[in-house]
Structure 1
Amino acid sequence: MTTSDSQIPAIIGYVTPWSAHAGQELAFKISSRGDRAFTATVERIDCCDPNPDGPGMKLVPIDVQLESTYPGQEQPVFPGSCAYGPMPVLEGIPHFKLDLTVQPTLEDATLQTLVALQNHDGTHGVAIALNRGELVFQSLAAGEQITTGLAVAADLWTNLRISIDRDGHVQAISSGTNAREEVFRNVADFEVPFSAAAFDGSTVCFAAIWRGHPEHAFNGFIESPALRAPGSDARGDQREDNVLAHWDFTPTLVHTNVPNRLDSDAPLTLVNAPMRAVRSSGWTGHELDWKHAPEEYAAIRFHADDLSDCGWQTSIHLKIPADMASGVYGLRVDNGEGVDTIPFYVTVASGGKHARIAYLAPTLTYLAYANNARGNFSGALAARVEAWGAYPHNPDVVTSFGTSTYNYHSDGSGISLSSRLRPVLTMRPGYLTFLDEHGSGLRHFSADSHLTNWLREKGFEFDVVTDEDLDERGVDALKHYDVVLTGSHPEYHTRRMLDALLAYRSAGGSLMYLGGNGFYWKIGRTVSAPHLLEIRRAEAGMRVWESQPGEYYNQLDGEYGVSGSAGPCPHARASEA
């Protein structure tokens, strides 16, 4: 999937991080169709409501020094999670064995790669994959495909041992327990004329072919892969296989790679944040916390539509000027075919001058709902968007940038991770969430602009503190303020955020809760991946999907995922749809 999709906006982007104070720098990543040059200006975002009967859109130009034009670059999107890294040298080895345990979760007609033994860019080598539930081999150089006749069933654990020799003979053995709880063992012998290419590889990639990005990605679990070579003693007699590599998929609080137990200098890099802390084939149910029995969670769950980082090149570096007041802003980019406004926040440095009022922007709630595809855009809502000149792009239609934690992966599992390193359509001025016969149909970012607009209209000076600021700085982010105002839907918080709010109140601060369905779900975050939010939906709380038993503890911080004690607001069921 790339940005050549006709539904992709003509120009669109994202910013990292979402906030900065004077002297800090923001990086804007812009994709401009056809590499068209574009202009950029900064606007203060006062009101995002396009309703003609309301206060109207208020986007106030701000004088910030920028270039007159910027060179455009159309930047693609490559979804799919995988794990890739160095492959052991197989020179002089006549044949090897690959061991892995898999559980596919989606059976379809696309090529879903279990493992690719390849050169660095995926132009040479062998992919071992599934197609319609059958094990297949594919030449990466010629595209030739060999079918094996060996079935690998969806939603069941299968142990695979695949022996490959340089002369083209391959044996694949599958074993496990079928849906009737009967033990099975199947053996297939076949010829793969391009098998020698597997011995030349420098890179191994699990769950995709690695071509600088994942291709032909896999939906399902992969557990404990190992590569072995036949052993012999000094007289040449056969003995136990030599283990060349054994990749450890048990969960840890390291989120960027997984180790090779045989070579600490050859880990696998994780791409697009696959799901970890999931039950593996050896899960007994005796331990529900992966930290207590990591060996029972020794699998990684990959999805072909995982997307944690678009990986776009930076188009504009914006250093926040010293005189730029705290507030809600947007970078407006225009390439002549389209326009995009990318929101960002200006905060106050710890030693800066503070107002008496802080607006606590619920950015983590925005992230949980980022690109929420509600299935309601066609018809009346689309007509209203056009009539009001509202933000025209909706995740129901523009699907390339992933969806929200209120949506599902293509294999039917709930989405537990959301990232801000991608365009977030639902966080745009003028975005309408639903059709409201009596109002504007705003939620989240657009709805919260009514509060900031009111503060400006009434002459109340305020600073912005974001959820990320609160999570990272704790009560120090609030201690300067007489009063802290929430947004309209402050639903998602970490334990650290809640502790900071309680400490602020205990010290005499005033908290004005101006929302509904607030303080409801506890989420996971980690300093090593600050762009990610994780939700595990455990026993309690309203939800559109549930975490599996034994998968209630976050992979990012190891904490338990749970809803808060606050009851849902009258519209909570709609919010969960």
Structure 2
Amino acid sequence: MTRPIPPHRPLVVPGVHGYASAKSVHAGQRIDFHVSSDRPYDISVCRLGQDADSRRDDVEISDLGASAACVQPIHPGSYVHVERGLPATLPLSGLTLECWVMPWRCTGERQALITQYDAPAQCGFGLFIEVDGALALYLGDGGTQRSACLHTGGPLTARRWQHVAATWDGQWAALWIDGICTGRWPSTGLVFPGPAPLRLGAAGERHGADALADVDLAMPAIYERALPADEIAARVALRAQQLPFDPAVRACWPLREGRGDGVADASGHQRHGRIVNHGAWMIRGPAFDEETEDGGDPFAAPGQRQGLRLASDDLYDCRWDSNHSITLPADARPGLHVARLRFDWEGREAIYDITFLVKRPADAKPAPLLVLCAMSSWLAYAATPFARNQVEDPVWPRRSTGLPNSHPQAPAFCSYTYHHAGQPSYFTGLRMPWPNASPAALYDPAGSGFSQWTRLERRLHAWLEREGYEFDLLADLDVHANPELLARYRTVVVNGHSEYWSTPVVDAFDAMLKRGGNAVVLSGNTMYLRVSFDEAMGVMEQRKNEDRGADPANAELRPPAGPFGEAFHSQDWARGGQLRAVGRSAASIIGLETAGWGFADAEDFGVYHVAEPGHALFNEPHRLGLERGRTFGHAPGGGLPRAIGHEWDLSTATLLRMTHDSPPGAALPEPPAGLTVIAQGIRRVPGAMDTYLDWHSRVTDSLDGLSAEMIYWERPQGGHVFHAGAVGAAWVVGSDPVFDGLLRNVLHRFGCEPL
């Protein structure tokens, strides 16, 4: 059961949106669907059929009938809720509100920093950033809001740590920024905290928590006395590295937890808090020093990573009620399914699909072949969860910047886009809509027919079924939750765009190979970036961050990233980013490493050229009759789909040829033994957005358009790998007789035969 939150400003998103209670479910189990709709709709459950480009072959499993409109609001915005505020009816003898703050914006809606304030009738005190960026203090009697109780001081600066304080000694009140008084006025009335809860990063309005802040906070504290100028200056000099040792402290939250939703009060008054809507730990604190080395330990240097990042659009769990449910038949066929909602949209029928995976019953005998669904990567690209509905198949923009939003204030961030105020996005919620996972979703370049996620991966599923292969489907999320699942299989297929992997999944996959298992990799950009999950499997974390001293001129070549120094995950305190940085390079496990991308135009997609025509995979048991240089991996006649595009992988040996120097202290690996390049993926004509990477993931020149390599690797450490080296490899399955014949030979070599 989702934990409820205190009253919170609601936001109604127009249209039809929904998610399932689980991303995957066993046959025979129940699954629920959580829907918000401002119009009537019909809903059914379908198993996706053979045609990846239409819905006509989908099989209806259950008709759940007609449903009336049922709007369920969302409640975005993170803050800290402290139920035990200062005593409501005892007047204060003095007051200081103090914290370090880095605002991500200094314009737009009002932002609260430290408050015991519920407008309009329970207004005690509050430290705010006003709409023009000015620091402001409200001192009231705990009752009705009065404009005369609010005073402003000097302006804050966006995206820079500043120490702020508000003081009141019973006669005068003042506002301070970095130890400088920016406003002072007489204030002789009594100040009562009132009955509102304490909040950090929010204040109360009629509907609950509001005035949600886009800030980084560190060491907020409340004193029942006014700190004088010299003591404020001393606090500024400490840069949040020392607790205030003062008997007048009534609450102090060091914000050093680094994980979880609990916030401890260090004052002794037990004013512990709870983070609502997650926030972000493991950020650069006020004392962060870019030149300090951490040696892989995020806490090696005290004060480096301290504080909590809040965002007014943080949302990772809609907390919607279940509208519909189904208990799947025990004999339900494994496969990708959808809850399909049909409704009227601007006079035409529109469809909204909620994708989920049905697995074999938990006690069923495993099939000879396992196909993994790259759901971690689907989640990473899940921008605009509340995208505006449309009738036509949506085309997702490059780098998954998202579709038009149904509401301008609805969350739109994903691992490739920032929060509304510019904060880096490190988290994705699993109890959220993910319209990018719709089987109808396409991807740029528009008009090419290229897709990712569900639509891309199901091509292989349909081909295996047509060919008569028995196979199981699991999500990589399932393997993360139970890594022992891979021990049941000898041959595992990695499919589509399988970029994001957790370390438990990587290690389980490597262990499967070391036991003599086989890997079929029909993916590019594979096993590149690390993710982790919270214990409830409700939130996924990934961190992409700038390098130390990164050149801003190269920013457009990189996906949106957080600042240097924030690479450590809050869920496990381990370094994030590229898996090779944590000792798990894809090349050491599956033979190839990410080497670049190009997705400007449909014509950017290239093809494979045979390099080793005598290799067994081209000849056993089906002789494909290929000669050196013969092309494949394309539709008949060389048209689309073509395999070599979007993103691709190359061998260590080739990447070393593309690496002309190394950063200080960086080492280059030895190419692995036993690896054969059987085909080369070449893109003769450069595309407008081409980027080629060297071993260190730095931009380099291509080797005459060599983009991908197809390999067979007998690993010295055990196991066998066939790796196609390109995202588009999954796209050509079923469209190219040569590629299909090669895939049959690969499966035969790995002991998988059609029934």
TM-score range with shorter-chain normalisation?
0.7 to 0.9
The answer for the alignment partner of 1:370 in structure 2 is 382
Q: For residue 115 of structure 2, what is the amino acid of its counterpart? A: A
2:223 counterpart of 1:228: yes
| 1:413-562 map, 5 Å | 413-437=423-447, 439-474=448-483, 476-537=484-545, 539=547, 543-562=558-577
Identity %: 19
Distance (Å, rounded) in 2 between the aligned partners of 1:24 and 1:499: 29
Kept after mapping to 1: 8 A contact 2:97/2:220: yes
SS of aligned partner of 1:513: strand
Give the letter aligned to residue 81 of structure 2: Y
1:398 partner letter: N
Per-residue deviation, 1:350: 4.0
- Name the counterpart of 2:358: 346
CA contact (8 A) 1:99 1:226 kept: yes
2: distance between equivalents of 1:393 and 1:209? 37
Contact 1:11/1:32, CA 8 A, preserved across alignment:
yes
- 1:525/1:122 Cα in 2 relative to 1: closer, same or farther (>3 Å)? farther
Cα offset, 1:512, TM superposition:
0.5
* 1:273-316 deviation line (CA, Å, top 9, x unaligned): 21211111122443534333454322111122222222222222
1:268 corresponds to which of 257, 269, 273: 273
Contact 2:430 2:538 in 1 (8 A): no
Q: What is the Cα deviation at residue 224 of structure 1?
A: 0.8
Residues 48, 309 of structure 1: alpha-carbon distance in 2 compared, 3 angstrom cutoff: farther
Question: Aligned residue for 1:568?
Answer: 595
Find the structure with the greater CA-based Rg: 2
Per-residue CA deviation, residues 187-222 of structure 1 (Å, 9 max, x unaligned), is 4223679984x6103411111235666422212211
Distance 1:48 1:258 in 2: 51
Distance apart, 1:270 and its partner CA: 1.2
SS of 1:277's equivalent? Answer: coil
**Structure 1 residue corresponding to 2:163, chosen from 159, 164, 167:** 159
What is residue 396 of structure 1 aligned with on the other side?
A: 403
Equivalent-residue separation in structure 1 for 2:163 and 2:153 (angstroms): 16
State whether residues 111 and 129 of structure 1, in contact with CA within 8 Å, keep that contact through their aligned partners in structure 2: yes
Q: 2:42 aligns with which of 39, 44, 51?
A: 39
Q: Which structure 1 segments of 5+ residues have no match?
A: 51-55, 177-184, 232-238
Partner residue, 1:306: 314
Alignment partner of 1:276: what SS? coil
Aligned mates of 1:23, 1:123 — CA distance in 2: 52
Deviation (angstroms), 1:102:
0.9
Which residue identity lines up with residue 452 of structure 1 in the other structure? H
Partner of 1:96: 95
Query: Structure 1 CA distance, aligned partners of 2:10 and 2:647?
Result: 30
Structure 1 residue 240: Cα displacement:
5.3
Q: 1:84 aligns with which of 81, 86, 97?
A: 81
CA contact under 8 A between 1:45 and 1:330: conserved in structure 2?
yes
For the residues of structure 2 that align with 1:418 and 1:334, how far apart are their CA atoms?
Answer: 27
In structure 2, the CA distance between the partners of 1:494 and 1:393, relative to structure 1 (3 Å rule), is: closer
Residue 229 of structure 2 corresponds to none
Q: Deviations over 1:503-549 (max 9, x none)?
A: 11112222100011111111222314533232233649973233323
**Compared with structure 1, are the counterparts of its residues 572 and 261 closer, same or farther at alpha carbon in structure 2 (3 Å cutoff)?**
farther
Question: Aligned pair in 2 of structure 1 residues 59, 72: CA closer, same or farther (>3 Å)?
Answer: farther
**Paired position in structure 1 for 2:25:** 20
How many angstroms does 1:171 deviate by? Answer: 2.2
Tell me how far apart the structure 2 counterparts of residues 279 and 157 of structure 1 sit (CA, whole Å). 10
Does 2:193 match 1:199?
A: yes
The secondary structure found in structure 2 opposite 1:533 is strand
Shift of 1:360: 0.2
Separation in 1 of the partners of 2:171 and 2:465?
A: 73
Contact 1:11 1:340 in 2 (8 A): yes
**Distance in 2, Cα, partners of 1:213 & 1:158:** 28
CA distance in 2, matches of 1:505, 1:114: 52
Aligned to 1:234: none
8 A Cα contact 1:11 1:339, kept in partner: no
Counterparts of 2:508 and 2:269 in 1: how far apart (Å)? Answer: 39
User: Scaled by the length of structure 1, what TM-score is found?
Assistant: 0.83
RMSD: 3.4
Is 1:245 aligned with 2:251? yes
Question: Which whole-Å CA distance do the structure 2 matches of 1:309 and 1:91 have between them?
Answer: 36
Please tell me the residue identity of whatever aligns with 1:346: V
Matched position secondary structure for 1:456? helix
Kept in 2, the 8 Å contact 1:391–1:429? The answer is no
Aligned partners of 2:16 and 2:352 also within 8 Å: yes
CA displacement 1:350-406 (0-9 Å, x = unmatched): 422322221100000001111279xxx99xxx9xx96xx424898331262422111
Assess if the C-alpha contact under 8 Å between 2:28 and 2:331 holds in 1. no
Cα 1:223/1:336, change in 2 over 3 Å? same
* Offset from partner CA, 1:45-84 (integer Å, 9 cap, x none): 235744xxxxx335523334x6544454211223222111
What is the one-letter code of the residue matched to 2:158?
A: A
TM-score by length of 2: 0.64
Instruction: Provide the rounded CA distance (Å) in 1 between the counterparts of 2:266 and 2:74.
Output: 33
Structure 1 pair 269–192 and aligned structure 2 pair: CA distance change class (3 A):
farther
The residue aligned with 1:60 is 58
| Paired position in structure 2 for 1:411 | 421
Per-residue Cα deviation, 1:160-187 (whole angstroms, up to 9, x for no partner): 222347x7953222225xxxxxxxx124
Tell me whether 216-225 or 127-136 shows the greater mean CA deviation.
Answer: 127-136
* Residue deviations 1:475-527 (CA, integer Å, cap 9, x gap): x2122233211121100001111100011111222210001111111122231
- Within a 5 Å distance, the mapping from 1:103-142 to structure 2 comes to 103-119=102-118, 124-125=122-123, 126-130=125-129, 131-137=131-137, 142=145
Offset of residue 345 of structure 1: 0.9
Q: Which amino acid aligns with 1:228?
A: Y
Change (3 A) 1:213 1:222: same
Q: Residues of 2 paired with 1:527 and 1:403: CA distance?
A: 23
Q: Which amino acid aligns with 2:106?
A: E
Aligned counterparts of 1:570 and 1:392: Cα–Cα separation in 2? 19
- Maintained 8 Å contact 2:112/2:201: yes
Give unmatched runs, 5+ long, in structure 2: 1-8, 227-244, 551-556, 586-592, 601-645, 649-688, 690-755
| Distance (whole Å) between structure 1 residues aligned to residue 327 and residue 144 of structure 2 | 46
Aligned-residue offset at 1:440: 0.6
Secondary structure at the aligned position of 1:568 is classed as: strand
* Paired position in structure 2 for 1:235: none
Structure 1 151/402 Cα, relative in aligned 2: closer, same or farther at 3 Å? same
Cα distance change on mapping 1:154 and 1:539 into 2, 3 Å: closer
- With over 3 angstroms needed to count, the CA separation of the structure-2 counterparts of 1:45 and 1:518, relative to structure 1, is same
Amino acid at match of 1:16: S
Task: Give, in whole Å, the separation in 2 of the partners of 1:466 and 1:153.
Answer: 45
Q: Compute the displacement of 1:154 (Å).
A: 1.9
TM-superposed CA distance for 1:326, in Å, is: 1.9
Paired with 1:451 and 1:19, the residues of 2 have a C-alpha distance of: 18
SS at match of 2:560: coil
Whole-angstrom CA distance in 2 between matches of 1:422 and 1:415: 15
Q: Give the letter aligned to residue 153 of structure 1.
A: T
Compared CA separation, residues 213 and 517, structure 1 to 2 (3 A): farther
- AA at the equivalent of 1:200: G
The secondary structure found in structure 1 opposite 2:81 is strand
Provide closer, same or farther for how the CA distance between residues 186 and 265 of structure 1 changes in structure 2, counting only shifts above 3 A: closer
Q: Does 1:360 align with 2:358?
A: no
